[in-house]
Every structure is written in C-alpha cells, then in structure tokens.
C-alpha cells in the first residue's frame, strides 16, 4: 500500500455553528456538506470534518503557548496571507503564538474556538530573507 495524500481530517467541536463560522470567516473555507452531527468544510485541496461533541473539554491555552511537538493540523497559505493572519487573529481574539521562522517558511500556531491546535505555514517567496 502507498498513501497518495491526506483526503481530509476531523476535529471535535462543541458547537457546530460556531465552528463552521470560524472555519468559514477566519480560514476562508466553504461548506461542502452538512449532516446532523457534522459539517465538512473545504479550503483549497483540503477538507476538514467538524464533528459535534457537546461534551468537548474547553480550550487549553497551554497548547498554543508552547505548540511545538504537539498534535495539530497545518494549512499551507500564501506568504501574504500568513503575514496578514496575525492581525486578523488579534482583531478576532483568536489565541495564537508569534510566528516561528524555519528558514524557508514561517508558521503561525493558533486555536480554533474549541481548542484544536492548528497551524498556518507560509513559504517565503524566492529572494526574501529571514
């Protein structure tokens, strides 16, 4: 067997409507399908299933304070979108970690409203230095 690509991933959320709004308004994803207990969102070539779990534990801010080495999902975005994300997150009250420079790309960790640790990855344009 050989895996071709990640088809989708799933996250547990306590409130489907709130999660759908976040993934749509903040991450620019669109609704692909709605069921009674889940919403499938799509952004670019990535799909994300939001699973209703009303008993989900509240967010743990420690996850975003020290994100490295913790389970998460990462979205690749354009360099300009990555640079704009910090201001967007600050304006919307989204908990996030300052960008981390990895040489050829930066990453920005953040929490969705249910405390799922997510990451934006933006690759530097050719010729742009760190």
| Residue 127 in this model has a pLDDT that exceeds 90 | no
3-state helix, strand, coil in the chain (%, to 5): 20, 35, 40
61 and 22 share one domain: no
pLDDT for res 129 = 64
Here the CATH number for the domain that contains residue 127 is 3.10.180.10
Report yes or no on whether pTM surpasses 0.85: yes
61 to each of 8, 27, 39, 105, how far by Cα in Å?
Answer: 25, 20, 25, 24
Host domain of residue 16: 1-55
Q: Are 89 and 80 in contact (CB under 8 A)?
A: no
Query: Are 17 and 67 part of one and the same domain?
Result: no
Q: Looking at the structure, do residues 51 and 36 belong to the same domain, yes or no?
A: yes
Whether 90 has a pLDDT exceeding 90, the answer reads: yes
**Among 95, 89, 121, 90, which Cα is nearest to 108's?**
121
Question: Do 66 and 117 sit in the same domain of this protein?
Answer: yes
Q: Which of 27, 14, 24, 5 lies closest to 82, judged by CA?
A: 27
Residue 128 has pLDDT above 80, yes or no: no
Query: Is the per-residue pLDDT at 126 higher than 90?
Result: no
Q: What is the average pLDDT score of the chain?
A: 94
Indicate if 125 and 82 belong to the same structural domain.
yes
Nearest residue to 98 via CA among 116, 81, 110:
110
Q: Which of 12, 33, 55 is the last residue before a domain boundary?
A: 55
Say whether both 17 and 44 belong to one domain.
Answer: yes
- 113 DSSP assignment: T
Q: Is it the case that residue 29 has pLDDT exceeding 90? A: yes
**Percent of the chain predicted with pLDDT > 70:** 97
Q: Are residues 47 and 62 in the same domain?
A: no
pLDDT in tens, 40-88: 999 999 999 999 999 998 888 999 999 999 999 999 999 999 999 999 9
Which distant-in-sequence residues (6+ apart) come within 8 Å of 92 by Cβ?
26
Q: What mean pLDDT comes out for the span 83-105?
A: 95
């Amino acid at each position: 067997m050989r895996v071709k690509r990640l088809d989708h991933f799933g996250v547990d959320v306590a409130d489907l409507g709130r999660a759908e709004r976040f993934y749509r308004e903040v991450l620019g994803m669109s609704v692909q399908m709605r069921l009674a207990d889940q919403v499938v969102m799509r952004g670019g070539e990535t799909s994300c299933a939001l699973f209703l779990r009303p008993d989900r534990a509240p967010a743990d801010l420690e996850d975003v304070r020290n994100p490295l080495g913790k389970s998460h999902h990462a979205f690749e975005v354009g360099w300009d979108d990555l640079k704009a994300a910090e201001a967007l997150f600050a304006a919307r009250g989204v908990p996030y970690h300052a960008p981390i420079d990895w040489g050829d790309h930066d990453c920005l960790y953040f929490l969705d409203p249910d405390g799922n640790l997510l990451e934006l990855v933006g690759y530097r344009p050719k010729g742009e230095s760190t």
